[in-house]
Amino acid sequence: MAETTKPFVLIDTPGHQKLRHGMFDALRVAQAARTIQGVVFVVDASAMTNGDSFRQAAEYLYDVLLVTNGVRGGTDVLIAANKSELFTAVPAKRLRSLFETELNTIREMRARSLGQTALQSEKADEAPVPDNYRWLGKPGETGPLRLVDLETEVTVLDGSVETGKVDGWVSWMEERAANP
């Protein structure tokens, strides 16, 4: 197990859909108070070949990125690809590419959904934008979403809690704790 050189506070929140709302509220409060240096988004890299598991993870990541990207300079996000030692694990570089593709799909689906709502309104040009809808990426950007173009710095690193291969994750956290 890795030893840290600088202490930092790590808050663990559940990933279950029914419990996520509290995490988003806490994240927004921490950003407003400027007390957060990063978000560690843990995924089971061995389950990312399962379409449903991957889509759910991508939906959650999209919503996390909407919040982290919503402040000047963004809040850095580490996608910690756990269980990377397993045969079925998707490597970090490939996982990043898959997430970019799926995040684009989600963005397009949400934009179409919003467009349909506006079209159904009597005054389409005055249709209200739902409070929970924001465009992920730069305003007015119409091309494909690329993670490198976000205010939020997104890093994807392989690792494994089971084997103790977490040095990269710990280094990432320490770097943010040392450079708030």
| 50-98 confidence digits (pLDDT tens) | 888 899 999 999 988 988 887 777 789 999 999 999 999 999 999 999 9
Q: Any idea what DSSP says for residue 62?
A: H
164: confidence class by pLDDT, cuts 50, 70, 90? very high
Q: Is 137 inside any structural domain?
A: no
Contact 109, 69 (CB under 8 A): no
Q: Where do the DSSP E strands lie in the chain?
A: 38-44, 76-82, 154-158
Is the separation of the CB atoms in 7 and 173 below 8 Å? no
Alpha-carbon span 137 to 148, nearest angstrom: 10
Residue 128, pLDDT above cutoff 70: no
Residues paired with 43 in a beta bridge: 81
The answer to whether position 139 is within a domain reads: no
Total number of domains in the chain: 1
On whether residue 91 sits in a domain, the answer given is yes
Owning domain of residue 79: 39-129+156-180
| Assigned domain for 176 exists | yes
CATH code of 92's domain: 3.40.50.300
Residue 64: both structure tokens together: 């996390």
**Structure confidence by residue, pLDDT tens digits, 9-44:** 676 777 777 777 778 888 888 888 888 888 999 999
